[in-house]
Amino acid sequence: MNPNPPPTVLITGSAGHLGTALMFALPDLGYHPVGIDIKPGPTTTHVGSITDAAFLASVFAAHSPIAHVIHTATLHKPHVGSHSMGEFVQTNVEGTLRVLEQAAGLTKPNHPVTSLIFISTTSAFGTSLSPPPPQPAAWITESTPTTSPKNIYGATKTAAEDLCRLVHVQTGLPVLVLRTSRFFPEDDDDEARRGEVGDPENLKVLELAYRRVDVSDVVGACVCAMERAGGVRWGKYVVSGPTPFTKDEGVLERLNGGDAAAVFKGIRVGSGDGELTTVGKVFEEKGWGFLRRVDRVYDSSKAVRELGWRPEYTFEKAVERVARGERWGSELAVRVGRLGYHAVPTGVYTTGGTQST
């Protein structure tokens, strides 16, 4: 028997994109993941709902002591058209409360976990994300207001964040909130955005500069959060690919004013032969295009600074890989593949499909 077994990490939503990635990656990082989800599958250890307190209690008892909880289970933006507001509240708010209660030992004085990492979303910033031209593109940090949600998804995620804060204050449970940007491999649901550059991979690489992150780097952020939670105790962090843009009023005005292509083209990166080149030249050789406008830029520097997060799949590195003729994303993203969000056809978010690059 191993005298020092790896710490057990409970992963809620283990059949989803991030949950699957965590179940795949954590064993090699020195953790023992246990996955729960309503959907059975190879990454689901126990099938059940996060709204079922008895089910959660049985899982916590079966795997005691659980060192960390990474709470990824949620209804997402693609579910807004297929699920009711009540279902969003039940899953995203009530379900989060049930997980918090178990993690903090509120339902039974057992062995409280040492950290809970709540996976939230940059959708929590709501209408702050889309300033109309000619206003500058929004520079999004943890202090950006979240008072005007765009939809029930954002509203319930911010409500769940408030519950995380409340349980932390009342119990001392270390809770870190990671507001992640998009990392799904499925195509964008905005037809206009898809049509603007044509190639879905072209769009995803562009998004790494301002609103996307590779799922492997999200896993890395979760690990950093677990390791730092005991010292930080409470915090919210934007988790998105580090931007190559600067917080310069002129640059932000150009991004949202229709001159985003010129800003992108001038960014200098490494080339396939080891020399410096520009994004414009790499994209021209690839036959890729640019977006006309960028309305927001996510700043993840706080996570880098306070959590020690070191993302590998940045915009510049992705463009360098494209220049060398390599896949721009991580092997983990390929392994996770396209999972979809629905069991029946719903356009680009339908379950199944080919794997991401």
346, pLDDT greater than 60: no
Residues 122, 179 contacting (CB under 8 angstroms):
yes
Instruction: Identify whether 98 is part of a domain.
Output: yes
Q: Residue 277 is inside which H or E element, if any?
A: strand 276-278
In this structure, what CATH number is given to the domain that contains residue 14?
3.40.50.720
279: in domain: no
User: Where residue 83 falls among pLDDT bands split at 50, 70, 90?
Assistant: confident
316-326: per-residue pLDDT in tens? 999 999 999 99
Report the pLDDT value the prediction gives residue 287, as an integer from 0 to 100. Answer: 96
Mean pLDDT of 71-86: 85
Burial of residue 275 (CB within 10 Å: 0-12, 13-18, 19+) is: exposed
**E-assigned strand segments in 26-181:** 32-37, 46-47, 68-71, 115-121, 138-140, 175-180
357 pLDDT higher than 90: no
Q: Residues 85, 144: contact at Cβ < 8 Å?
A: no
Residue 224 CA neighbour count, 13 Å, CB half:
21
* Chain segment 169-182, per-residue pLDDT in tens: 999 999 999 999 99
Number of compact structural domains in the chain = 1
Residue 267: inside a domain, yes or no?
no
Query: Is 155 domain-assigned?
Result: yes
Global pTM exceeds 0.85: yes
Whether residue 2 lies inside any domain: the answer is no
Under 8 Å between Cβ of 91 and 108: no
- Answer yes or no: is 80 within a domain: yes
Residue 95 in any domain: the answer is: yes
Residue 146 contacts residue 125 (beta carbons within 8 Å): yes
- Does the residue 348 lie in any domain? no
User: What number of CA atoms fall less than 13 Å from residue 165's CA on the CB side?
Assistant: 10
Q: 99 lies in which domain range?
A: 8-199+211-241+298-311+332-336
